[in-house]
A and B are shown apart, each in its own frame.
Chain A
């Protein structure tokens, strides 16, 4: 095990917590919130690789980071009109 794993883990986990905090802060606009959740998923996928779980990393990258963000943006574009005068 390389001795770079622990600093990389610390960096990834700190970025994950910052992205998670950004995703619940309600002053931000909706697209930024959804992109932050996609960022949490992406960083978690790299962290899974460092935790010796390549299957889980691939699944999280393809499904969690890709498809969930797409689904959010689809629905956001359908309800966009309502949040401006609803």
Chain B
């Protein structure tokens, strides 16, 4: 009881701070200096139509590298922590009831379409809303549907880890190419900028974003496969 009252008092205090923040907030009417720079110079500098994608990949590309590293750490730690759990034994696998026919046939129909949607989202990341992270999550959802339709299917960990490592290498490699051929690390002018709105425009942004999408999709899939590999005792 005392604990609950303390918690409520703490929350009332934090709520008072939030209320003060809310009352003192006035929305802007003009873009501030940084946003105006991004709005005016994105097309000249990077040639991308999606300003948020240009910021995430080019202007603040180092943050994206850090985020991809954190995701890699999370996937690796999940694999490490769950690796020494008991693996499904042969006899327990036979006790599992078969998935319903609707799920199996529906999965076979939908998984290619979902993968195609994921690839479409990250290939067009510089033109329309979307990009690497969304496309990668959609790819992982396709992998999850495959896993649900056939729970005993063994996913090849080697394939997933090879896709992930190669994508990470290509990402850093394109960044280093920026040192040699253009302004600096992760500069996207190593490839020609092209015309605004084309699929093959915006320099290296489609390539970087595609490999980020593959890497994120592989990481989420490996997390899901590890979690489903543990078995009820």
| A58 & B134 in contact (Cβ 8 Å cutoff) | yes
Query: What is the number of residues of chain A that contact chain B, defined by CB distance less than 8 Å?
Result: 17
Instruction: Fill in one digit per residue for B120-136: 1 if any A CB lies within 8 Å of its CB, else 0.
Output: 01000000011101100
A41 to chain B, nearest CB (A): 13
The contact sample of 17 A-B pairs, CB cut-off 8 A, is A55-B50, A55-B52, A55-B130, A55-B131, A55-B134, A58-B121, A58-B130, A59-B134, A62-B138, A63-B134, A66-B137, A66-B141, A67-B224, A70-B224, A78-B227, A78-B230, A78-B232
| B133 & A63 in contact (Cβ 8 Å cutoff) | yes
Check: B228 CB closer than 8 A to any chain A CB. Answer: yes
Instruction: Fill in one digit per residue for B174-208: 1 if any A CB lies within 8 Å of its CB, else 0.
Output: 00000000000000000000000000000000000
| A62 & B230 in contact (Cβ 8 Å cutoff) | no
Inside 8 A of B211's CB, which chain A residues have their CB?
none
B contact set with A: CB distance below 8 Å: 50, 52-53, 121, 129-131, 133-134, 137-138, 140-141, 144, 220, 223-224, 227-228, 230-233
With A55-B130, A74-B227 as given contacts, are A62 and B141 in contact (CB-CB < 8 Å)? yes
A25 to B131 Cα, complex, angstroms: 37
A58 to B138 Cα, complex, angstroms: 10
B122 to chain A, nearest CB (A): 11
Inside 8 A of A31's CB, which chain B residues have their CB?
none
With A55-B52, A55-B130 as given contacts, are A81 and B232 in contact (CB-CB < 8 Å)? yes
A72 to chain B, nearest CB (A): 10
Inside 8 A of A74's CB, which chain B residues have their CB?
224, 227-228
| A63 & B137 in contact (Cβ 8 Å cutoff) | yes
Check: A4 CB closer than 8 A to any chain B CB. Answer: no
In the complex, besides A58-B130, A66-B137, 4 extra interface pairs with C-beta distance below 8 angstroms are: A58-B134, A67-B140, A71-B227, A78-B227
| B232 & A62 in contact (Cβ 8 Å cutoff) | no
B172 to chain A, nearest CB (A): 23
Inside 8 A of A80's CB, which chain B residues have their CB?
232
Instruction: Fill in one digit per residue for A52-86: 1 if any B CB lies within 8 Å of its CB, else 0.
Output: 00110111001100110011001101101100000
A35 to chain B, nearest CB (A): 17
With A62-B137, A71-B227, A74-B228 as given contacts, are A55 and B144 in contact (CB-CB < 8 Å)? no
Q: Which of A62, A66, A75 makes the CB contact (< 8 A) with B227?
A: A75
A65 to B224 Cα, complex, angstroms: 15
Q: Which of B129, B140, B224, B230 makes the CB contact (< 8 A) with A58?
A: B129
Identity of the chain A residue whose Cβ is nearest the Cβ of B139 in the assembled complex: A62
Identity of the chain B residue whose Cβ is nearest the Cβ of A57 in the assembled complex: B129
Q: Which of B50, B137, B230 makes the CB contact (< 8 A) with A67?
A: B137
A53 to B15 Cα, complex, angstroms: 27
| B224 & A62 in contact (Cβ 8 Å cutoff) | no
